[in-house]
Amino acid sequence: MNNVDLMQAEECLIQMGDILIRNGTSLHWAKKLHSLASKKTMCADDFRQQVKGLYGGMGSLNDLVICDADGKMDRDLNVRFDELRSTLYNVV
């Protein structure tokens, strides 16, 4: 994992957290993503392991669906979030 990958991973984590905050969805996940983005200075292997750990099991990052205030799925935000989620996984 090089510096470009780390910067791209950090940017994905921040953007994903920002989407969740703006939407008011899963502030727990937003806080977790922002917190991990601030840890990019840790050992690359540890950072990679923590990011990949977000993706496994029930209630993981893969299960997150963004809905509007009426409980309806927000398609555009989900598409963008999924793009970021995939990019993050691929760079780490």
**Digit-coded pLDDT (tens) for 56-88:** 888 899 999 999 888 899 999 999 999 999 999
Structural domain containing residue 85: 3-91
pLDDT for residue 56:
87
Nearest CA to 87 among 33, 20, 12?
12
Per the listing, tokens 């398609």 go with: 75
Find residue 73's DSSP bridge partners: 67
Find the farthest-apart pair of alpha carbons in the chain and give their distance in angstroms, rounded. Answer: 42
pTM: 0.91
Nearest-10 crossing angle of helices 3-23, 27-37: 160
Q: How many domains does the chain divide into? A: 1
Find residue 67's DSSP bridge partners: 73
pLDDT for residue 40:
66
Query: Distance (Å, rounded) from C-alpha 54 to C-alpha 62?
Result: 8
